[in-house]
């Protein structure tokens, strides 16, 4: 698409986010299934529900703008999820693999936080107030998901993974 103004770039960035969320909807159930920690599995399952809402919020914004959500592939997310799925297939101690899955998932959340932050700033600049509110909600969920993963890693998974290394 031709980018002649910030509005065009806003739509392009939203399509990139839409592609990212669509890919994440496929990956999250696989990550949940691969997680050994109950807490981690539940975190992925609850973020899957949030991700469905996030995709719907984007659809709502596209509807308001009268634009098509399709048309972009988020290559960045594709790469991040490929790395995540490599981690799911690794052999080794389950606690260490869990720590590795968290590492991959947090890269995904940070990438999304960056994308939503930019889109939100454009929406604000362009006076798309409804979009600002919707993007804000998703941005808050991504931040909370990231923080939850930090908490799970630091309180349970990393300590267990450390123990695994000591036993080897």
19 near Fe ion (CB under 5 A):
no
Residue 117 interaction partner, one of Fe ion, Zn ion, none, beta carbon < 5-8 Å per kind: none
13 vs 54 by CB, closer to Fe ion: 54
In the set 19, 37, 54, 95, which binds Fe ion (CB under 5 A)? 54
Q: How far apart are the first and last CA of the chain?
A: 54
In eight-state DSSP terms, residue 157 is: I
Q: Where are the beta strands (DSSP E) in 34-109?
A: none
Residue 146 interaction partner, one of Zn ion, Fe ion, none, beta carbon < 5-8 Å per kind: none
Q: Which residues of the chain form contacts with Zn ion (CB under 5 A)?
A: 16, 74, 76
142 near Fe ion (CB under 5 A):
yes
95 vs 107 by CB, closer to Fe ion: 107
147 vs 154 by CB, closer to Fe ion: 147
Number of separate helices (H) and strands (E) present in the chain: 6, 0
The Cα 104–Cα 129 span in angstroms is: 33
Question: Which residue in 82, 101, 83 sits closest to 92, CA to CA?
Answer: 101
- Interacting residue ranges for Fe ion, rule: CB under 5 A: 51, 54, 112, 142
């Amino acid at each position: 698409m031709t980018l002649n103004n910030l509005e065009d770039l806003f739509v392009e960035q939203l399509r990139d986010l839409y592609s990212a969320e669509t890919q994440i909807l496929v990956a999250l159930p696989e990550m949940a299934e691969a997680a050994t920690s109950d807490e981690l599995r539940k975190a992925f399952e609850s973020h899957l529900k949030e991700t469905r809402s996030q995709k719907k919020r984007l659809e709502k914004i596209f509807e308001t703008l009268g634009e098509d959500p399709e048309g972009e592939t988020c290559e960045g997310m594709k790469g991040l999820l490929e790395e995540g799925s490599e981690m799911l297939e690794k052999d080794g101690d389950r606690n260490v693999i869990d720590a590795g899955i968290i590492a991959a998932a947090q890269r995904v959340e940070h990438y999304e936080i960056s994308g939503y932050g930019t889109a939100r700033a454009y929406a604000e600049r362009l006076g798309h107030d409804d979009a600002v509110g919707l993007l804000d909600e998703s941005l808050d969920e991504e931040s909370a998901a990231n923080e939850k993963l930090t908490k799970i890693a630091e309180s349970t998974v990393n300590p267990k993974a450390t123990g695994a290394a000591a036993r080897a």
